[in-house]
Amino acid sequence: MGHRRHFAVIVLVAAVAVAGTTWRRAIAASPDAPPPVAPDSLMDTGLYAADRPGVVDPRNRPFSPQYPLWTDGASKARWIYLPPGTAIDTTDVNEWDFPVGTKLWKEFGFRGRAVETRWLWRATRDQWVFASYVWNADGTAAVKAPDDGVPGAARIAPGRFHDIPSVHQCRACHVSDRTQVLGFNALQLSTDRDPNAIHGEPLQPGMTSLKTLNDEGLLQPARPALVSNPPRIIARSAGERAVLGYLAGNCGACHNRKGDLAPLGLFWKHGEVATAGADTARAMIGHETKWQVPGVPEGESVLVDAVSPQNSALLRRMTSRFPASQMPPLGTVVRDQDALEAVARWIASQRDASR
């Protein structure tokens, strides 16, 4: 009789557990369930080891895109977390689909101290959570920024300040036809790294690459061809390759075939540039633009003017830091002089070639 009673208790406990699991799943799937939110402290996002504050959890993989985004000279550190037992869906090799539970962090530093850490979390199949965390002056803690962002978070040049973006601004860059994970794709993680990449960072030991992802079974389907023949931009010169890579890293999230700006005809997303680099560069020369270059007759502005490089809309908009005309439109208040010089050299080479 005691054995029967004991067995009945086990069955009851199991039933309650199953019912509880079913209830939690139902709540999670319910359209009335509260949306997932970012924690108030960076410490609670999972970046750091639980028992060692300030030490990055080894499950978070460091990575470095070969064509980094310009953010006014900020130093950056980046990590990605993929839940155990999951993999990145690479059915479309140029549009990776990340598993639920994926997290990414990017830390921005100015003048030797951390200022901001941005966080991107795929909380559910249909929901990505964005948050920015502001570091205190002594670098001991970072708390979530208001949804409207934090203007003037750090002085980076005379009269110029780094603004921590609003959630709306984060979505403006990361959400096109669907949420995009920027800087973590086949071209950016290629082991055939461009030695002339503008602001390029060396691939340090232990960093994530196409090879490490493929070797660890984190790409599904597996992509051994990306290891044996790593992606690279096929261009007519080393300088052209670097310029195209810069455009892919800084402009391709908006200027591509699928986004709202597709009618402009500027296709600079990583996969597009990697497969058609030289053609992409040629298409830029003489490409008509609706943005009117100052001093150029109405209706005659072009993206790249090989005859008069100084009248190229590309250079003018990269040079500008007025909100109505600058490119990229967000995330920078200081001109990228290295990029301007590289683009100017490339345009000059087109002029010389046409003579």
Q: Could you tell me if 68 and 13 lie in one domain?
A: no
65 occurs within a structural domain:
yes
| pLDDT reported for residue 1 | 43
Q: Please give the model's pTM, rounded to 2 decimal places.
A: 0.87
Find the domain containing 66 and state its range.
Answer: 42-228
Angle at CA 331, nearest 5°, toward 42 and 275?
100
| pLDDT reported for residue 33 | 73
286 occurs within a structural domain:
yes
Taking a C-beta distance cutoff of 8 angstroms, is the pair 208, 162 a contact? Answer: no
| pLDDT reported for residue 88 | 98
Q: Could you tell me if 126 and 23 lie in one domain?
A: no
Q: In sequence order, what DSSP letters do the residues of 130-171 get, joined into one string?
A: EEEEEEPTTSS-EEEPPTT-EEEEEEEETTEEEEEPPHHHHH
Please report, in angstroms and rounded to a whole number, the separation of the first and last CA atoms in the chain: 101
Q: Distance between CA atoms of 118 and 285, rounded to whole angstroms?
A: 36
12 occurs within a structural domain:
yes
Q: Could you tell me if 143 and 110 lie in one domain?
A: yes
Q: Could you tell me if 139 and 250 lie in one domain?
A: no
- Give the residue from 179, 197, 228 where a domain finishes: 228
Q: Could you tell me if 29 and 134 lie in one domain?
A: no
Q: Which two tokens stand for residue 336?
A: 């990228």
- Give the residue from 173, 197, 228 where a domain finishes: 228
Residue with tokens 């780094």: 162
323 occurs within a structural domain:
yes
Q: b/e string for 61-93 if b means 16 or more Cβ within 10 A?
A: bebbbbbbbbbbbbebebbbbbeeeebbebeee
How many CB atoms are located within 10 Å of the residue 184 CB? 20
Counting the structural domains of the chain, the total is: 3
Q: Could you tell me if 208 and 85 lie in one domain?
A: yes
Q: Could you tell me if 172 and 195 lie in one domain?
A: yes
233 occurs within a structural domain:
no
Q: What is the DSSP letter of 21?
A: H
17 occurs within a structural domain:
yes
Q: Could you tell me if 95 and 156 lie in one domain?
A: yes
Name the maximum alpha-carbon separation found in the chain: 101
| pLDDT reported for residue 31 | 58
Residues 6+ positions from 205 with CB-CB distance below 8 Å = none
Q: Could you tell me if 167 and 276 lie in one domain?
A: no
**DSSP β-bridge partners for residue 164:** 150
Q: Could you tell me if 122 and 209 lie in one domain?
A: yes
Taking a C-beta distance cutoff of 8 angstroms, is the pair 315, 309 a contact? Answer: yes
279 occurs within a structural domain:
yes
Question: Amino acid identity, residue 77?
Answer: A
Taking a C-beta distance cutoff of 8 angstroms, is the pair 223, 307 a contact? Answer: no
Residues 6+ positions from 339 with CB-CB distance below 8 Å = 70, 198, 199, 246, 250, 318
Q: Distance between CA atoms of 269 and 235, rounded to whole angstroms?
A: 15
Question: Amino acid identity, residue 105?
Answer: W
- Give the residue from 228, 253, 286 where a domain finishes: 228
| pLDDT reported for residue 171 | 67
Q: Could you tell me if 3 and 49 lie in one domain?
A: no
67 occurs within a structural domain:
yes
Taking a C-beta distance cutoff of 8 angstroms, is the pair 307, 351 a contact? Answer: yes
Angle at CA 128, nearest 5°, toward 327 and 119?
65
331: left (phi over 0), alpha (psi -120 to 50) or beta: left
Q: Could you tell me if 288 and 139 lie in one domain?
A: no
Q: Which two tokens stand for residue 148?
A: 């409207």
| pLDDT reported for residue 353 | 64
Mean pLDDT per block of 10 residues along the chain (355 residues) reads 40 38 41 84 95 90 97 96 98 95 97 95 94 94 91 92 81 61 95 97 93 97 96 96 97 90 93 92 96 96 96 97 91 96 96 64
Beta strands in the chain (DSSP E): 61-62, 75-81, 88-89, 103-110, 113-122, 128-135, 142-144, 150-157, 160-164, 219-220
